[in-house]
Amino acid sequence: MSVVDLGEVQLFVTDTGPLSGVGAPPVLLVHGWTCDSHDWSDQLDSLATRHRVIAPDLRGHGRSSTPAAGYTAQHHAADLVALLDRLDVGPVVVIGHSLGAVVAAALAVEHPERVLATVVVEPAYGQPPPALEWLVGVADQFGTQDGNALAADLQAATEPTAPARQRAWHRRRTLGMAPALLARTFRDMYVVPEQVSGQPATDRYLAGRRCPTLAFHRLPDMADWERGVLTHPASRAVSWEGSGHWLHQERPVEFNRLVLDWLADLPVAGHPADRPALQGTA
């Protein structure tokens, strides 16, 4: 684990798995809003049995630095391209949750040469117009209410079936974030003109995602919608009805097995993944 200096931002990164990844492409794990790379604790060891695994904290999250601006999915994607350059890592499989799934889509659309495939878990994109309108209204409330409590309540509503310990962990972490950062990251996800989280912007944007994609949703109607925007014949969307938003934490064994099996069946070439020494402070 190291802090990698990318100039404008410093990202805290976990880099684990085989020193050489011939036959198994490297995997980039991208967490969601208010979260950090610890969200992938149930996936790291399992994925690292076959793949080099890189799990950063996004800017403004976890142990990474907090620039004053630049929290759109496109900004996060640019950070991750710079990180892959710094680590000298070739094309990757990107696994993203929530906001991280939007970032994964941005990487696939805007930097297709860097992405072999994507796995999106409860993506924050694809919001129908009524839901997007409501989320824009929520963004306005960050300036008039306790933003930390508002964000924590929003998250709690998406995981009613999650274990109490998991819900408490997510709430405590959200309550500890800077209120201004919560507001900025939320607005950059749903309100700014370049947002791609709401329909019909998502539909137009994902037309450019040409790589294989495995999508996990908890709501069947969202899985049905996702199937309509998948472009590669190896892509698929699954619905785990009854799960919460962090379904990879609620059902980690099943999630890991499905992802590893899907990746093993993909017609992608292996890429050497010799890991250079990182400079920075842990």
Tell me the pLDDT tens digit for each residue of 173-222. Answer: 888 888 888 889 999 999 998 899 999 999 999 999 999 999 999 999 99
User: What CA–CA distance (Å, rounded) separates 137 from 20?
Assistant: 48
Contact 30, 95 (CB under 8 A): yes
Residue type at position 158: T
Q: Identify the pLDDT of residue 281.
A: 30
Q: How confident is the model at residue 279, as a pLDDT?
A: 36
The C-alpha atoms of residue 243 and residue 162 are separated, in whole angstroms, by 7
Which residues 6+ apart lie within 8 Å of 155 measured at CB?
34, 170, 171, 174, 245
Q: What is the pLDDT of residue 21?
A: 54
Q: Residues in the chain with pLDDT < 70?
A: 19-23, 143-145, 268-282
Tokens 């996990």 map to which residue? 216
Domain boundaries, the chain: 2-128+194-265
For the chain, give the secondary structure using H, E and C.
Answer: CEEEECCCCEEEEEEECCCCCCCCCCEEEECCCCCCHHHHHHHHHHHHCCCCEEEECCCCCCCCCCCCCCCCHHHHHHHHHHHHHHHCCCCEEEEEECHHHHHHHHHHHHCHHHEEEEEEECCCCCECHHHHHHHHHHHHHCCCCCHHHHHHHHHHHCCCCCCHHHHHHHHHHHHCCCHHHHHHHHHHHHCCCCCCCECCHHHHHHCCCCCCEEEEECCHHHHHHHHCCCCCCCCEEEECCCCCCCHHHHCHHHHHHHHHHHHHHCCCCCCCCCCCCCCCCC
8 A C-beta contact, residue 239 and residue 220 = yes
Distance (Å, whole) CA 31 – CA 264:
23
Q: What does the pLDDT read at residue 143? A: 66
pTM of this prediction exceeds 0.85: yes
pLDDT for 213: 99
Q: What is the pLDDT of residue 101?
A: 98
Task: Give CATH superfamily name and number for 2-128+194-265.
Answer: Alpha/Beta hydrolase fold, catalytic domain (3.40.50.1820)
Count the alpha carbons within 13 Å of 83 in the hemisphere toward its beta carbon.
Answer: 28
Contact residues for 281 (Cβ-Cβ < 8 A; gap 6+): 2, 3
**125 vs 226: CA distance, rounded Å:** 10
User: What per-residue confidence (pLDDT) applies to 269?
Assistant: 46
- Please name which of 32, 98, 93 lies closest in space to residue 60, comparing C-alpha atoms: 32
The answer to whether the beta carbons of residues 2 and 278 sit under 8 Å apart is yes
Say which residue the tokens 């993203």 belong to. Answer: 96
Quote the percentage of the chain above a pLDDT of 70.
92
Strand 53-56 relative to strand 213-217, pairing: unpaired
